[in-house]
Amino acid sequence: MKAGFIRKAVAAAVIGVVGLASSHAATPHDQHDTGVKYRPDVTFTLRTDIADGKLVFIGEAGAIKGKVNPQLAVAEGAIVQINLVNGDGATHDISVPDFKASSNQLNTKGASTTIVFKADKKGEFKYICSLPGHVQAGMIGQILVGEGAAKPKALGAEVSRSPMETGTPVGARGPQSLTVNLDTTEVLGQLADGTTYKYWTFNSKVPGPFIRVRQGDTVTVNMANAADSHMIHSVDFHAVTGPGGGAAVTQAAPGSSKSFTFKAINPGLFVYHCATPMVAQHISNGMYGMILVEPDGGLPKVDREFYVMQGELYTSQPHGTLGENEFSLEKLLKEQPEHMMFNGTMDALTKTHRMEAKVGETVRIFFGVGGPNATSSFHVIGEVFDRVFSQADLTSPPIRNVQTISVPPGGASMVEFKVEVPGRYILVDHALSRLEKGLAGFLYVTGPENPAVFHTAEKMDPNSGH
């Protein structure tokens, strides 16, 4: 790239738009020295890539190196240069609409482009890839002008439930009397990096605890609503035969407790949730979980068990907005969630909790949908479910060799499969637009390669997924 061309472009940039590409050859006219001199006050280099199933920008150098969609902090009035390198081979560009700066498109891996602009107003602004669908796919970051340093990110409690918390199998024991204690709490939780939400929970996690009993057990449920709650809460167990599944007798005001006792008559995997009006809001905010009623003799032994539930959040702010997000009644009633997730948060099963298995092991997933509205098409990319207990029917023979299962809101299913090849396997709802709203999880399988089942001519990164 010729110096005269750069100077000419920068002169345009500080009054409006500039887009320079390394693939553009400078012409003799471009090389003409206009006398315009510039030196950027700050330079950032970003690379396009794919991370955790999303299209992203990744920092290439300095304090932002390796960071996904890094925040770029600059002083007011600074001349800012952003270099973009195409790292994935797809078509991309970079644009800062508030400063009318946009680049040309990069079409090949390794190509690069530059934008330069004057950050002449304070505030928080976005840099994006302007190609249709790329912002929704994850290519959006923040430029902070006037602070000189990044603002502290919004922090909340870790509310995601570990998928490894599946309780103790009942085995071959006989019926017993058991007690379940549930505390309903309202917690400012970490929805995503830099984003918080006021969750309503059972036992301060989403989903609530995995409750494991035996067919024929007598179960006493004690439910206490925290004194600092603002809402009445309750619990409805789909496994309960009785008024409201228990909800009719557990409507508890803040600071009060309720209890009831039921007999676990029907084996199966059942959802429980808050059933205080408006019920959909309580469920969406995180008040759901599952209870497993094991049949006489218990379940067959497997090597790994995981507890996974799908949920939705309806916020006034768009998906990806930093700071505290607030509930939107309008979006709930229109069934238009901004966020969809496994186990309560965007990062629950991708960063916070690591699901692992070894080659040759058998995996069982207890899967349920809290909802409150969306049916899930649950799928593990790169695996086939060897056995599916459809609708969580644990007494009928399972169906076999299934690719994707449909689970309604308030429903559940149990799947089992043997892992035979190492790698990272992605849990999704195969309504795949939901991936862009945060609905993904990882299962890491370690162990020796198995070329009889799968092999490639190239050596693969076992954490790369596909």
Determine how many CB atoms are found less than 10 A away from the CB of residue 68.
16
Q: Which pTM does this prediction carry?
A: 0.73
Question: Tokens 């006219």 appear where?
Answer: 29
User: Which DSSP state fits 437?
Assistant: G
Known binding residue 129? Answer is: no
Please state, in angstroms and rounded to a whole number, the distance separating the CA atoms of residues 406 and 107.
38
Candidates 418, 444, 443; CA nearest to 360 is 418
- Binding residue per annotation — 32? no
Q: Which residues contact 45 (CB under 8 A, 6 or more apart)?
A: 59, 60, 61, 82, 83, 84, 85
Q: Measuring CA to CA, which residue among 66, 23, 322, 10 is closest to residue 196?
A: 322
- Residue 339, annotated as binding a ligand: no
User: Given this model, what pLDDT does residue 456 score?
Assistant: 87
CA separation for the pair 133, 140 (Å, rounded): 11
Is 29 within any annotated ligand binding site? no
Check whether 455 is labelled as a binding-site residue.
no
d(CA 126, CA 26): 30
Peptide bond into 278 cis (omega under 30): yes
pLDDT at residue number 458: 64
Could you give the 3-state DSSP secondary structure of residue 351? helix
The reply, when asked if residue 274 is annotated as ligand binding, is: yes
| Domains assigned to the chain | 3-145 (2.60.40.420), 177-294 (2.60.40.420), 304-446 (2.60.40.420)
pLDDT value of residue 62: 81
Per-residue pLDDT of the chain (466 residues; tens, 9 = 90+): 333 333 333 333 333 333 333 333 233 333 333 333 456 888 899 999 998 778 999 999 888 999 999 999 999 989 999 999 999 999 999 999 999 999 999 999 999 999 999 999 999 999 999 999 999 899 999 999 986 444 556 789 999 999 999 999 999 999 999 999 999 999 999 999 889 999 999 999 999 999 999 999 999 999 999 999 999 999 999 999 999 999 999 999 999 999 999 999 999 999 999 999 999 999 999 999 999 999 999 999 999 999 999 999 999 999 888 889 999 999 999 999 999 999 999 999 999 999 999 999 999 999 999 999 999 999 999 999 999 999 999 999 999 999 999 999 999 999 999 999 999 999 999 999 999 899 999 999 999 999 999 998 865 555 554 4
Q: What is the pLDDT of residue 3?
A: 37
As a whole number of angstroms, the distance between CA 288 and CA 309 comes to: 9
Q: Mind spelling out the 3-state secondary structure of 406-423?
A: EECCCCEEEEEEECCCCE
User: How many angstroms separate the CA atoms of 9 and 30, rounded?
Assistant: 10
φ and ψ of 246, to 5 deg:
110, -20
238 annotated binding-site participant: yes
